[in-house]
Amino acid sequence: MADTDTAAKRETDSIGTDELSQKAKRAKADNENGRGEDAKESESENILSGFKTSSVLSDSAREKIIFIRGKLADQEAVVVLEKTPIREDSLAELFSGSRLKLEMRNDIYSTYRLQAPPHLNEIKTTVVCPATEKHIKKYQRQESFLVEETGEDYQSITLPYIQKQSFSVQWVYNILEKKAEGDRIVYEDPDPEVGFVLLPDLKWDQKQVDDLYLIAIAHQRDIGSLRDLTSEHLPLLQNIFQKGKEAILQHYNLPASKLRVYLHYQPSYYHLHVHFTKLGYEAPGCGVERAHLLSDVIQNLQSDPEYYKTRTLYFPLRADDGLLSKFKEAGRL
Active site residues: 273
CA–CA separation, 92 and 95 (whole Å): 5
Exposure letters 300-319 (e unless 16+ CB within 10 A, then b) = bbeeeeebbeeeebebbbbe
Find the length of the chain: 333
CA–CA separation, 141 and 153 (whole Å): 27
Q: Give the CB-side neighbour count of residue 288, counting CA atoms within 13 A.
A: 0
Residues pairing with 72 in the sheet: 75
CA–CA separation, 27 and 10 (whole Å): 16
DSSP 8-state secondary structure symbol assigned to residue 157: I
Q: What is the largest CA-CA distance in the chain?
A: 67
The values of phi and psi at residue 57, to 5°, are: -75, -40
DSSP string spanning 213-235? EEEEEES-SS--SGGG--GGGHH
